[in-house]
Amino acid sequence: MEKRKTGRVAKRLEVKFQSPVEKTAITNDLSETGIFIKTNMGVNDGNIISFKMNLPNTQEIPLTGRVARSVRTMLGLIGESKSGIGVHLVDPPENYVNYVQSLFINHVNSK
């Protein structure tokens, strides 16, 4: 299994999928090349998915990626599911990459 090449930062943002009706989910963490999205929606590893993300102070941006990992778990004792999908982004747009870089800068400066 390929290891991550870039760091990740925790961030909750809304994402929207079409399957065939619109579904909403929340990101768990972001990197310049990938996203983990908390969802119970079953998606097979290797599938290509398209979705939209709301970055702060911008309109929705379209993203496409390959599902690198699909996690399905039962609810834990505190009622929180760890289910979700790890998505490796295909050609992430510049405004997405810039946003993630700004999160890392803010994260480092806050320590």
pLDDT range class, residue 37, cuts 50, 70, 90? very high
Domains of the chain in start order, with CATH, are: 9-103 (2.40.10.220)
Q: What is the pTM of this model?
A: 0.82
**CA 61/CA 42 separation, integer angstroms:** 23
Q: What is the pLDDT of residue 3?
A: 56
Exposed e or buried b for every residue in 32-48, given b needs 16+ CB within 10 A?
Answer: bbbbbbbbeeebeeeee
Q: What is the pLDDT of residue 80?
A: 61
For residue 27, the tally of other CB atoms under 10 A from its CB is 19
8-24 pLDDT per residue, tens:
899 999 999 877 788 89
For residue 28, the tally of other CB atoms under 10 A from its CB is 18
What is the chain's mean pLDDT, rounded?
85
Q: What is the pLDDT of residue 73?
A: 73
